[in-house]
Amino acid sequence: MKRFVLIEKKTNLLKGIDNMAKTPKTKLVKVLQGNYGCEWEDLCQYDPKDDNQMKELRDDKKAYKENEVGVPHRVIERRIPNPEYKKENIER
């Protein structure tokens, strides 16, 4: 019986934490890159959560392949610092 009471108290404490939305430190982006000889260079950056930008990514990659024959292109995922994140969000 005591064990059930302890679990109930812990879940009540956690309910308040779930309601607070945390802003992540980093954000995921997709980057279109081309290799022009010595190393991969970033051409464009896209937000994977935006459907319009993902369609634009596919169209841009197709256009680069058609216009720059012989140049390899790739799409990578990269984490960048989130501009919406503030250090004040950290609880001490």
Please enumerate in sequence order all residues whose Cβ is within 8 A of that of 79, keeping only pairs 6 or more positions apart, or say none.
26, 27, 28, 29
Number of domain units in the chain: 1
Please enumerate in sequence order all residues whose Cβ is within 8 A of that of 30, keeping only pairs 6 or more positions apart, or say none.
45, 46, 47, 48, 54, 57, 75, 76, 77, 78
- 2 in any annotated domain: no
The domain in which residue 44 lies consists of 22-82
- 65 in any annotated domain: yes
- 1 in any annotated domain: no
Supply the pLDDT for residue 23.
85
- 10 in any annotated domain: no
Evaluate if residue 18 carries a pLDDT over 80: no
pLDDT band at 8 (very low <50, low <70, confident <90, very high): low
Supply the pLDDT for residue 52.
95
* Distance, CA of 90 to CA of 17 (rounded, Å): 13
- 87 in any annotated domain: no
pTM for the full model?
0.68
- 34 in any annotated domain: yes
- 31 in any annotated domain: yes
Assign 17 to helix, strand or coil: helix
